[in-house]
Chain A
Amino acid sequence: MDITDFYDTFFEEAAELLSEMEQHLLELDVDAPDAEQLNAIFRAAHSIKGGAGTFGFEALQRTTHLLENLLDHARCGQLTLRRDLIDVFLETKDMLNDQLDAYRQSAEPEPEALEYICKILRQLALEEIGEDVDSASEPAVTSAQASVAEVASATQSEAVSEPTTDSGRYQVALLHVAEKDRRLLIEELSHLGSVVNESGDENRYEIVLVSSLGCDDIEAVLCFVTEPDQLEIVPLSAAAPKEDEVPKPSGSSNEKPQAPQKSGAQEIKVTAPPTRKPPVQGGGSGENSSIRVPVAKVDQIINLVGELVITQSMLDQVVEDSGSTNDAKLSSGLTLLSRTAKDLQEAVMSVRMVPMDYVFSRFPRLVRDLAGKLGKEIELITEGKSTELDKGLTERIIDPLTHLVRNSLDHGIESPDQREAAGKSRTGNLLLSAQHQGGNILIEVSDDGGGLNREKILSKAAANGLAISDNMNDEDIWQLIFAPGFSTAAEVSDVSGRGVGMDVVKRNIEAMGGHVEIDSRPGNGTTTRIVLPLTLAILDGMSVRVGNETFVLPVSGVIESLQPCHEDLYPMAGEDLLLKVREDYLPLLSVHAAFDVPDAITEPARAIAVIVHGQGCRYALLVDELIGQQQVVVKNLETNYRKVPGVSAATILGDGSVSLILDIADLHRLHQSKKSRGAAFESAQRISNGTTAAIQAKRTVSNVEGANA
């Protein structure tokens, strides 16, 4: 076993510590800093430093060392925090991230960047506390051992810094550590000081170490190599011949229990975990009770469970067909199996779910930086952080959300002066919220800025050649901003306004099976609503029969179903049929025509019309029969085949056969293109009710997309 095997663990832990540090830095109130938060930030820097020293990541160690010293002064109240100091700390945190990334790719971080940040930090230390904190460790450090010693001496030179003792004896006990790991740990320990004595077995192996470092330091070094609960560090009385004169309680902050020491191996202070735990618990991650698993593994399990559910319903079918349902044992066994399979499926799906906090947590920083850049005062409020969403979706929602937040900051919220003139508070509010709504998640980005400008959008749309009319309702107008190349920003700014944005947002969200809506009132702000399915792996499906074929419709797109009467059917432009549903006239689209299904019912009045909606279109879909509603496992068709028009994916039915999942919006397009191929009369596409404008705008969008592709 090589020490490099532990690199990954270190990288992950360090990355976690860094994001925790950032979170605390952002939450920190500069005027009245919370001591616990300062401690947490300090501890994060300290732990990273320890690990970096062990693994010989020199740049990382140097930077964290400088940062740690500043933080230490801050937590002792010797350094008064200001906003610009926090900015520097945040910048350092970014730099540390970069360094970590570089090491992760087995490269050295950029030396200029290192020098730059070190200079800033040293400058800061000189100005703020009048001392050069880096002086002690300035000479080039070469090995991990040297650097750790260096750090120790550096910290020792300042009375107020990290409480360390002079050379002391420690009993380090390794619990349940395998032999080969133990060798490595002992080797590590020998870098920290001299190993005087070692004995014990696998369950408990005791090492007596003489070192000038403190408990925390030893632990920080070892905890990257082992689990905290496998480690027990106890300071022994300094009975070693040379050290006995040294231990005097250090004056300022003596957290180290030096005083009550009498006999040889009296255990005074208990183990490390309590001293290290607080930052972890502070972050709310409860790390000890969780394990890291690659997403691919989880996906594999989800696939297998999907298969299990299919097999189970296949068995049900077989039993039902064979008429052996009256075998009580068999049927009760099957019921049990079906229940367990369903529970298992739910449990496994929940593994993929991560709280929205994962997404939202990156916005405080973004908002802070952007607000600073734009000279605006903005308060970010997040709600529903614990709302859970499929991991795959959270990753894909980040980009669209970032776009929307940038838009709100740049175009939405006005400058403080403008806000004051408009009678609003100088500080603009940006609300990010997430909540569950049925089988969907609703994510809102809402600001109290100026709102969308109807006139501007209309004139811009006209200039872009989009189909508009003056009496369009607001909703249709807001949809126009999703057209490609659409931006009403007068100037292109650093932040937004290039006109590539909203169309990408819309496309991304629709690719995830969701949709976007905008609600805006002039002077009161804009709310963008994103509705997404909770997961992409499972879909609530409605099975329908057409001819001898079975198709699945996403339930989220189904509004209602009904049997059309002759009186409600109106022919239009020859071959088209409109169905009157209450006050609306909906185009009637038959599945058998779109997919050339043989033996289907062609007479609409004898079939079933399912009213569906998707991506701004609403129509009636003609099918032969509704079979039922069930959850289906979504299988990608493109893995082995290609995209099929009108179909979003496939699934496997209870009898093991494949069924196609219909894509409601795409089916509409397919229908349109089939028609225009056949007859090519534009007028047929002019649908009588109020959605004309939206559909036209949409068509223009798809035309532009088509031209680009």
Chain B
Amino acid sequence: MNYIGAAEKTSAAQAQSRDREFLVFSLGEEEYAIDILRVQEIRGYDNVTRIANAPDFIKGVSNLRGIIVPIVDLRIKFRLSDAVYDDQTVVIVVNIAERVVGIVVDRVSDVMTLGDEQIKPAPEFGVNLPLDYISGLGNLEKRMLVLVDIEKLLTSREMELVAEAGE
């Protein structure tokens, strides 16, 4: 329910201003981008407490100034690169559906402004990242950005971050 409302809001915002800002990060060799308005902060990866009996891409929970935040490793979820944790590993803390979630990525590269004409519809592909969670492809001269609908992705059933009704 929540994300439908938010999606409507986003499309309303889209109608108003043609340009949107995205935070670009990389998973392995690929570049992804998420709506910058969802990003709360970026921090290093440390001190994550493992949670038993959770899927492997949920690394556990971490303390973000007194708030307990689950940490999801998108690299494992999308099977995109070897999940290595070092000084460069970055956690993007995002705000979705009134929740705070940290996502682990290889690197954050920059913030990009994309106009409508630069956003292409995504073609049908791969099972790892279903089309539902991709809002489009960002077309830059020599780069291609996969625009991820992070809210839809993280609240989806398969991410197992949100308890399902009736549980």
Contacts and interface: CB of A to CB of B under 8 A. Distances in A.
B68 A641 contact: yes
B66 A658 contact: no
Interface stretch (B7-15, B57-65, B127-135): B57-65
B151 to A, nearest CB: 14
Nearest to B65: A307
A640 B100 contact: yes
Nearest to A306: B66
A109 B2 CA distance: 36
Contacts of A310: 66
Contacts of B163: 638, 642-643
A596 interface: yes
B51 A656 contact: no
B72 to A, nearest CB: 10
A636 B66 contact: no
B6 interface: no
B63 A660 contact: no
A640 B53 contact: no
B68 to A, nearest CB: 5
A641 B49 contact: no
Contacts of B69: 640-641
Contact of A549 (B47, B49, B70, B166): B49
Interface in A644-658: 644-647, 650, 652, 655-658
Contact of A641 (B52, B63, B70, B166): B70
A435 interface: no
Interface in B27-78: 47, 49-54, 60-63, 65-70
Given A652-B66, A709-B166, A639 B51 contact: no
B51 A652 contact: no
A306 B68 CA distance: 13
Interface in A574-606: 594-597
B63 A652 contact: yes
B68 A639 contact: yes
B162 interface: yes
Contacts of B49: 549, 650, 657-660
Contacts of A646: 52
Interface string B85-100: 0000000000000011
B63 A656 contact: yes
B119 interface: no
A94 B156 CA distance: 48
Interface string B118-138: 000000000000000000000
Nearest to A547: B50
B141 interface: no
A655 B100 CA distance: 22
Contacts of B23: none
Contact of A596 (B52, B61, B70, B101): B52
Contacts of B52: 594-597, 644, 646
Nearest to B70: A641
A219 B49 CA distance: 62
Nearest to B53: A645
Nearest to A637: B68
Contacts of A440: none
A303 interface: yes
B161 interface: yes
Given A595-B52, A650-B61, A643 B68 contact: no
B167 interface: yes
Interface residue range, chain B: 20 to 34
Interface in B78-120: 99-101
A635 interface: yes
Nearest to B52: A595
Interface in A536-586: 549
Contacts of A549: 49-50
A632 to B, nearest CB: 13
B62 A658 contact: yes
A641 B161 contact: yes
A652 B68 CA distance: 9
Contacts of A596: 52-53
Interface in A285-341: 303, 306-307, 310
Most chain A CB within a 10 A radius of its CB, from B54, B66, B99, B100: B66
Nearest to B51: A644
Nearest to B64: A640
Given A642-B161, A650-B68, A652-B63, A595 B53 contact: yes
A94 B167 CA distance: 40
B49, B162, B163, B166: most-surrounded residue (chain A CB, <10 A): B49
A640 B47 contact: no
A640 B68 contact: yes
Given A657-B63, A658-B62, A635 B53 contact: no
A635 B53 CA distance: 20
A639 B95 CA distance: 12
Nearest to A550: B49
Listed residue (A594, A596, A641, A658) with the most chain B CB atoms within 10 angstroms of its CB: A641
A635 B69 CA distance: 11
A641 B66 CA distance: 15
Contacts of B166: 709
Nearest to A307: B66
Contacts of A643: 163, 167
A652 B67 CA distance: 9
Contacts of B167: 642-643, 709
B120 to A, nearest CB: 33
Contacts of A659: 49
A658 B61 contact: yes
Interface string A594-628: 11110000000000000000000000000000000
A657 B67 contact: no
Contacts of A658: 47, 49, 60-63, 68
A306 B70 CA distance: 20
Contacts of A640: 67-70, 99-101
Contacts of A652: 63, 66, 68
A650 B65 CA distance: 14
B54 A644 contact: yes
A301 B60 CA distance: 27
A549 to B, nearest CB: 7
Given A596-B52, A660-B49, A639 B99 contact: yes
B53 A641 contact: no
Contacts of A655: 47
Contacts of B100: 640
Contacts of A639: 67-68, 99
Contacts of A645: 53
Interface in B147-164: 160-163
A670 to B, nearest CB: 8
A640 B71 CA distance: 10
B145 to A, nearest CB: 27
A642 B162 contact: yes
Interface of A: 303, 306-307, 310, 549, 594-597, 635-647, 650, 652, 655-660, 709
Given A635-B66, A640-B68, A657-B63, 12 more contacts: A596-B53, A640-B99, A641-B161, A642-B160, A642-B163, A643-B163, A644-B51, A645-B53, A652-B63, A652-B68, A657-B47, A658-B60
Interface of B: 47, 49-54, 60-63, 65-70, 99-101, 160-163, 166-167
21 contacts: A303-B66, A306-B66, A307-B66, A549-B49, A549-B50, A640-B99, A641-B70, A641-B161, A642-B161, A643-B163, A644-B52, A644-B54, A645-B53, A652-B66, A652-B68, A656-B47, A657-B49, A658-B47, A658-B60, A658-B68, A709-B167
